[in-house]
Structure 1
Amino acid sequence: MNAFAAREQFASANQAGVEILTTLANKAFTRVERLTELNLNTARSVLDDSVAATKTVLAVKTPQDLLALQGTLAQPMLDKAVVYGRGVYEIATEGQQEIAKLFEARVAELNKTFTDALDKAAKSAPTGSEALFAAFKSAVDAANNVFDGVSKATKQATEIAEATVTAASAAVKGASPRAAASKKSA
């Protein structure tokens, strides 16, 4: 391989690295923007609910009315906490999935480049070095299998976390005083 081709490959690899870093930075900024928007909307909503709850409590005339309000005042905050947690989870999960896709694409590209270079080197290698190149290819295949296994395990963990969040959201909604009251009247 001549020096010019090596410099070209090095420059190309550096350019690809810069592009990946730029993409990751842009995606991170998008996540931060979404998280900031979620935080502001949640804070605004909590403030509105707090003001409404305070007005409701101040309008109470009897202790019985205050007891009747006890469960209904906390429920909107609990609902908002569930919605907020779900929003944060979705933003984080989307970010993780985008990074995983970029990483998988980059690994596939690097594997192809390495395999091509290995094939070229094997063609110009001296006789008797076939076993060495076969061992290299075997090592690359083993590394790819490990990467695939880790990738699948990560996807399964994400699916389990998604199911857990969904179940927790349903459990909180099912435990609300309104749901309990509707079950009693049924």
Structure 2
Amino acid sequence: MSTPSLVEHISSANQSTLDISHALLKNALDSVDQFNALSLAFARNILAEQVDAGKKLLAARTLPELFALPGALLQPQFEHFIAFVRGSQEIAGDARSELLQLLESRHGELNQSLTSALEHYGKTSGNSEIALAAVKSAISAANSAFENTSRAVRQVANLADSNLSAATTSAVRSTGTTSQTRKKAA
């Protein structure tokens, strides 16, 4: 059984890079497709709400009926907007999760391939233990930095998601309170 040559290692690394590029592009295109579908649904819903609002405005016969309409007309549109924001957040979160999973899995494969190549080089060359130890130490430091960065990115993303969810919930509550106040005043 022969050990893989340097050419085979380079070819394998190139194939891996091509696979990663394909997966990243597919992830990006899937996310854009989902966002476009969400945007189109949002536009359709808002258009339908605008048509209904116009009909209600034209149907108002008295001044109190006319003054009672703005809150009732804006509430459904605001709810569609909140749904759009939440959907956008979900699409971005899913894309981010898939991207991190892909990068982490490929990072492990790259480490394994690099370690294999270094061991092969160590076996075929003469006095290279010091150089190999230095390269392995650098790889270990890079792995540690990658893990720390990955952990930090996840924490920031989770914090941003929770802040956006809290802001959306707060906006929905305040709008609900405002519309209830308007109904009581009318």
In structure 2, the residue matched to 1:77 is 77
Q: CA deviation at 1:125?
A: 4.8
Change (3 A) 1:135 1:7: closer
Change (3 A) 1:9 1:133: closer
Q: Are residues 1:137 and 2:136 paired?
A: yes
In structure 1, the residue matched to 2:15 is 15
Q: Are residues 1:103 and 2:103 paired?
A: yes
For the 8 Å contact 2:9–2:117, the answer to whether it is kept is: no
For the 8 Å contact 2:35–2:88, the answer to whether it is kept is: yes
Q: Letter of the aligned partner of 1:159 in structure 2?
A: N
Q: CA deviation at 1:134?
A: 2.5
In structure 2, the residue matched to 1:52 is 52
In structure 2, the residue matched to 1:165 is 164
Deviates more, 1:106-115 or 1:116-125: 116-125
Q: Which contiguous aligned blocks of 4+ residues in structure 1 show a shift greater than 6 angstroms? A: none
Deviates more, 1:27-36 or 1:49-58: 27-36
1:131 & 1:162 partners in 2: Cα distance? 46
1:118-129 to 2 correspondence within 5 Å? Answer: 118-127=118-127, 129=128
1:74 & 1:6 partners in 2: Cα distance? 66
1:110 & 1:50 partners in 2: Cα distance? 54
For the 8 Å contact 1:46–1:77, the answer to whether it is kept is: yes
In structure 2, the residue matched to 1:28 is 28
In structure 1, the residue matched to 2:154 is 155
Q: CA deviation at 1:60?
A: 1.0
Identity among equivalent pairs (%): 34
Q: Letter of the aligned partner of 1:36 in structure 2?
A: N
- 1:70-99 superposed Cα distances (whole Å, 9 cap, x missing partner): 212111121111111111121122112212
Q: CA deviation at 1:135?
A: 2.4
Count of paired positions: 181
Q: Letter of the aligned partner of 1:162 in structure 2?
A: D
**What's the secondary structure of 1:145's corresponding residue?**
helix
1:169 & 1:72 partners in 2: Cα distance? 19
Change (3 A) 1:170 1:42: same
In structure 2, the residue matched to 1:146 is 145
Root-mean-square deviation (Å):
2.4
Give unpaired runs (5+ residues) of structure 1.
Answer: none
Give unpaired runs (5+ residues) of structure 2.
Answer: none
Change (3 A) 1:10 1:124: closer
For the 8 Å contact 1:174–1:180, the answer to whether it is kept is: no
2:162 & 2:27 partners in 1: Cα distance? 25
For the 8 Å contact 1:72–1:177, the answer to whether it is kept is: no
Query: What TM-score does the superposition give when structure 1 sets the normalisation length?
Result: 0.85
Change (3 A) 1:10 1:119: closer
